[in-house]
Amino acid sequence: MLNNASSSLSPSGYYDARLRRRKLYRAAKKKGGRKHAERKSFKNRHFPFHCLPREISAEIFVLCLPDSEDPIKSRNAAPILLCNVSSSWRSLALSIPRLWNELAIRIADPTVDLDLATTMADSWIARSGELPLTLCLYTSSRNEKGTAMAKAHLNTFFRYASRWESVDISLFGLSPVSFPNLKFGLTPLLRKFSYSTSCLVSVPFPFTSCPLLSTITWPFPCFVASNVDPDIPWHQLTRINLEHKMSTHQTLSILQTCQKLVELNVSVDDDPSLDGVRSRRKPVENRSLRSFHIIYVHITCYCSGLLQSLTLPALTDFSLDTYFDSLSSISSRSVHTQLLRLFTRSKCKLEKLRLGGCGFDDASILKCLKHDSCSSLTELEISNVFNRPMFTDRVILALGFNNVLLPNLSRLSLEMCLSASPGVFGLMILTRCLWWDKGDQLKSLSLTVRDELEDIDGAFLKIANKSGLDVEITIDRYNDSDVAEDLYDTDS
């Protein structure tokens, strides 16, 4: 026993034990390595995404961003959803700047801590690296906390103004909010700026240099030929949406100054004292304007004053909406005459036409649709504040039977203006759906009427719907104004 003990403590026995331990360690390590390799092989076999190069994975993540008109990011969509899958996905998502260069914030009834909310917004934007930014801020809060939250987020946004590309700010229900001071006033990447507010307190245009700005929405009075808005680069704008009421004179000044203008949306409310000035000036020609949407707060003879002062040869999308206090103030014949003269003078080819509350009768509508500028129409929308017959048998028959008008019409919207004999309207719609070439068929129909359609018209529309026509019918029994019919003169 002592001999055995002494042999185990001998130098040779000691080294033999160390050798055995090393062999056991190497065997265990090799076995563990095999297990690790097996686990990795299993992971790669069942989760091939992990085999992709980082650049490919990043591109896939970017393609996961929702293609939605609503800029507000949902928790159930990228990029937030990607961060909730696993720690590796979260790490990858946070490292991809293109997932974070768009941010939209909606403030309704704020419950989040102010500092926490601004920190989260700042962290989101910081992840975008040096990429151009698209930012949106919408508020409808009516309390002091909402106002404070809006101001805090504006401060955050303005700190990144040098990287703005597109910014949309809508502040409603708040006390007056002024823009933060913008250092040097430089926004070298800004292409689109939209600002809407319910506050009547005007604020100055916040930028002094925006060489790429082409699209603007602005809620305050604008005067092109003055020093009121010297920082607005009118000469380079291509799309303008003015939410404050403008005069005819101001509208013409914009069209004359902005020769690159492609789209103009404007509300006009004229002062009668300006009529003499308008009548003496020569027509303004803008050769680039393609989309022109006019809202007249009061339709009077001054509406025709704007139409007779314009020449728009590139026009393809025209909309005239009018709101008026009493029917007796309408000069619909003058508007109709000047509208047709505008078309003739411009020699334009319209694709979209909207006439809202213009006071036209069926003869005026038909004459308008027969104009050469309307022969290329693909979308037509006619609406009426009163339930007055405008889209009658004589118009319908011209659209569906003899010498068909508007052969390329694909979308038709009629609101409180349809008055037809049983079956006439439905048969016209069905004809344009079944017996037209596929590319020229009517694809969408929207109707707002006071009473249910006749059974035969309903049957025809059901057949058209089964053939592919998108049909939407709304019954509006509250818009009941038969008095309108007696206040208009109807051409025979």
Least Cα distance to 318 among 293, 347, 346, 344 occurs for 293
For the cut 80, the answer to whether the pLDDT of residue 89 exceeds it is yes
Same-domain status, 336 and 373:
yes
Return the pLDDT at 174. Answer: 79
Same-domain status, 94 and 174:
no
Number of separate domains in the chain: 2
If pLDDT is split at 50, 70 and 90, which confidence band does 33 have?
Answer: low
Same-domain status, 95 and 123:
no
Higher pLDDT, 229 or 312: 312
For the cut 80, the answer to whether the pLDDT of residue 427 exceeds it is yes
**CATH, residue 321:** 3.80.10
455 in a domain, yes or no?
no
Distance of alpha carbon 415 from alpha carbon 429, whole angstroms: 16
Phi, psi of 164 (to 5 degrees): -60, 135
Return the pLDDT at 229. Answer: 58
Same-domain status, 268 and 319:
yes
Reported pTM: 0.82
End residue of a domain, out of 362, 388, 421: 421
12 in a domain, yes or no?
no
Same-domain status, 162 and 256:
yes
Distance of alpha carbon 367 from alpha carbon 218, whole angstroms: 36
If pLDDT is split at 50, 70 and 90, which confidence band does 11 have?
Answer: low
Distance of alpha carbon 158 from alpha carbon 333, whole angstroms: 50
- In the block, tokens 């104009």 appear at 371
pLDDT (mean) for 310-320: 97
Q: What is the pLDDT of residues 150-194, one digit of tens each?
A: 999 999 999 999 999 999 999 998 777 788 876 656 899 999 999
For the cut 70, the answer to whether the pLDDT of residue 379 exceeds it is yes
If pLDDT is split at 50, 70 and 90, which confidence band does 2 have?
Answer: very low
Return the pLDDT at 74. Answer: 80
127 in a domain, yes or no?
yes
Average pLDDT over the chain reads 83
427 in a domain, yes or no?
no
29 in a domain, yes or no?
no
138 in a domain, yes or no?
yes
Return the pLDDT at 385. Answer: 73
Q: What is the pLDDT of residues 184-214, one digit of tens each?
A: 568 999 999 999 998 888 888 888 889 999 9
If pLDDT is split at 50, 70 and 90, which confidence band does 15 have?
Answer: low
Same-domain status, 160 and 185:
yes
Same-domain status, 68 and 210:
no
For the cut 90, the answer to whether the pLDDT of residue 292 exceeds it is yes
9 in a domain, yes or no?
no
DSSP SS3 for 246: strand
End residue of a domain, out of 421, 450, 482: 421
Name the amino acid, one letter, at 380.
L
Same-domain status, 293 and 411:
yes
Burial class (CB in 10 A: 0-12, 13-18, 19+), 373: buried
For the cut 50, the answer to whether the pLDDT of residue 489 exceeds it is no
Same-domain status, 93 and 130:
no
Provide DSSP, 393-414. Answer: HHHHHHHHSTT-S-TT--EEEE
In percent, how much of the chain has pLDDT > 90?
53
Same-domain status, 156 and 65:
no
> Which domain does 240 fall in, by range?
102-421
In percent, how much of the chain has pLDDT > 70?
78
Return the pLDDT at 38. Answer: 53
pLDDT (mean) for 315-339: 75
pLDDT (mean) for 74-94: 90
19 in a domain, yes or no?
no
Q: CB neighbours of 464 closer than 8 A, spacing ≥ 6?
A: 426, 429, 430, 433, 434, 442, 445, 471
End residue of a domain, out of 61, 81, 99: 99
| Structure tokens belonging to residue 263 | 């789209």
Same-domain status, 108 and 88:
no
Return the pLDDT at 208. Answer: 83
Same-domain status, 194 and 214:
yes
